[in-house]
Structure 1
Amino acid sequence: MHITRNRPDSRQGPAEHFTGTVWLDEIAAPDAPSRLRMFSVHFAPGGHTAWHRHPHGQVLHVTEGEGFVQREGGPVEPIRAGDTVWIEPGESHWHGAGPRTFMTHLAVVEAAEDGTTVDWGDLVDACTYPN
């Protein structure tokens, strides 16, 4: 067993992968052979990811606020505190806060054998949020 008491500093999501203000807090990145990675991601209103995909999929669990998620070719779906989203391996998608609210979610992924956890795509064009 290993208890982590000191965490890395919060870091701002880089502009090439995020629109608006987004902060990332690493929660878990155990040593090999584990490939688990977990982050708490804090989105300011209007903040969201670029299009991206994960080699082994992703679990999002919304801990506070409200936001949206969309898979490529699908509708923009609302998500709120308590919701859990499973994103299939290789499924292109984006997620983030709504235009008027903050949103925080836990993001859990499994790294590929080469250590890759995400393949980033283009920034999302202007979001059209459902009413």
Structure 2
Amino acid sequence: MQKLSKPATTKNPPEQFTGDVWVDPIATPQDAGQRMVVARVRFAPGARTAWHSHARGQTLHVTSGVALVQSRGGAVVQVRPGETVYCPPGEEHWHGATPDDFMEHLAMLENADDPATTTTWLEHVTDAEYSAR
């Protein structure tokens, strides 16, 4: 067993997010056989990810606020505290906070064989896409 030190909170880069988003890593691979990544992610009102996909999918569990989640071509879904949503491998999607409230979720995924290909970042979600609820 190994007790891990708490990594610092980081603010996500504007190339991948609109608005203010903070990440607190919870679990990251500690050896070559481990793939699990878990982070607590906090979104300011109106903040959201860019469109993206994950090689092995992603599970989001909302802990506070209301998340907005959309798969490319689908409807925007509201996810409330205690609810969980799964985005399958390769599915282009975005997630973020409502315009008026902070939102926090746990983001859980597995690294790809090449960790650099775990997440594929795409274009920003437009204001029109974000507002189409």
Q: Which residue of 2 aligns with 1:124?
A: 125
User: Gapped runs of 5+ residues in structure 1?
Assistant: none
* Corresponding residue SS for 2:66: strand
Q: Which residue of 2 aligns with 1:79?
A: 79
Would you tell me which structure has more helix in proportion to its own residues? 2
Please, what TM-score do these two structures have when normalized by structure 2? 0.93
Q: Which residue of 1 aligns with 2:52?
A: 52
Matched, 1:107 2:107: yes
State the percentage of identical aligned residues.
Answer: 48
Give the partner amino acid of 1:36. M
* Corresponding residue SS for 1:42: strand
Measured in 2, the distance between the counterparts of 1:84 and 1:3 equals: 28
* Corresponding residue SS for 1:109: strand
Measured in 2, the distance between the counterparts of 1:125 and 1:62 equals: 23
Q: Which residue of 2 aligns with 1:40?
A: 40
What is the Cα deviation at residue 117 of structure 1? Answer: 2.0
Matches within 5 A, 1:88-107: 88-107=88-107
Give the partner amino acid of 1:73. G
